């Protein structure tokens, strides 16, 4: 039986959409990650080839996509659009509901830095496999629109497998759960939902998301060996705890 993509809780959807609408103008995010090129996970070695045409795995991807397409006029599809935007400062709000406190440059600079720099590392972890496999994105196969029509032209020539967004979202979920373990369940659930948004948006197959999340995990494990990352993680743990105390 194909797992149906769940609709978000109403409060979470409202929080996410409200944060997106209230976000200030975009600003450039740092383009330097924590990891040197040689320290990045080897996506080509870690990720198996995408499902072969006619395989059971490919049929699973197709069935999961059909369930996602049925959400087009539902709140879940509306949520997928802000989940697609990784530009800061908007992106800092994507996990705020699960984290329980806002993230900004003034009061949680280390947390913001973790998100910005780990984004670079997680995205880079998927590039080798994307370039090797060049899997077409689902909207090219099913002809249905995506949640980001303005990006469709550029996505046509961008490999679908594995998902860079899913790698980033899962690396973020693991990082924030390490900094705020008492919010771990909510953050991991949000990371899974963030990956599901790529299927709902009609820009990734389910297996793209799963392998992207695998590379997000591999990236996080590599990051734990980096002193600069560990220092920011410790600082984020302290500043997030302080924000929660002050909010009581």
- Write the pLDDT tens digit of every residue in 157-207: 999 999 999 999 999 999 999 999 999 999 999 999 999 999 999 999 999
- Write the pLDDT tens digit of every residue in 116-172: 999 999 999 999 999 999 999 999 999 999 999 999 999 999 999 999 999 999 999
Segments making up each domain of the chain, as ranges: 66-247
For the record, the structure tokens of 174 come out as 């693991």
Kindly report the CA angle at 38 between 35 and 40, in degrees rounded to 5? Answer: 50
CA Rg, the chain, in Å? 17
Class assignment of domain 66-247? mainly alpha
Contact at 8 Å (CB) between 156 and 70? no
Burial (CB < 10 A; 0-12, 13-18, 19+), residue 81, is middle
Catalytic residues: 165, 198, 204, 208
Judged by DSSP in three states, 27 sits in strand
CA distance 190 to 98: 7
Which pTM was predicted? 0.90
């Amino acid at each position: 039986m194909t797992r149906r993509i769940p609709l978000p809780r109403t409060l979470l959807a409202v929080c996410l959409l409200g944060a997106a609408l209230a976000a200030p103008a975009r600003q450039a995010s740092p383009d330097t990650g924590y990891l040197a090129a040689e320290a990045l996970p080897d996506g080509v070695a870690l990720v198996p080839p995408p499902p072969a045409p006619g395989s059971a795995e490919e049929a699973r991807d197709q069935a999961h996509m059909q369930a996602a397409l049925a959400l087009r006029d539902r709140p879940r599809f509306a949520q997928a659009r802000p989940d697609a935007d990784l530009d800061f400062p908007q992106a800092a709000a994507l996990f705020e509901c699960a984290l329980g406190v806002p993230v900004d440059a003034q009061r949680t600079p280390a947390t913001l830095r973790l998100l910005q720099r780990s984004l670079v590392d997680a995205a880079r972890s998927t590039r080798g496999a994307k370039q090797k496999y060049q899997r077409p994105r689902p909207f090219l196969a099913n002809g249905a629109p995506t949640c980001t029509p303005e990006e469709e032209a550029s996505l046509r020539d961008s490999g679908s497998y594995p998902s860079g967004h899913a790698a980033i979202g899962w690396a973020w979920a693991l990082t924030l759960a390490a900094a705020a373990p008492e919010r771990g369940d909510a953050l991991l659930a949000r990371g899974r939902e963030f990956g599901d948004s790529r299927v709902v948006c009609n820009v990734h197959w389910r297996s793209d998301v799963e392998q992207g999340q695998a590379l997000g995990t591999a990236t996080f494990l590599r990051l734990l060996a980096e002193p600069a990352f560990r220092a920011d993680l410790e600082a984020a743990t302290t500043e997030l705890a302080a924000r929660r105390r002050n909010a009581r």
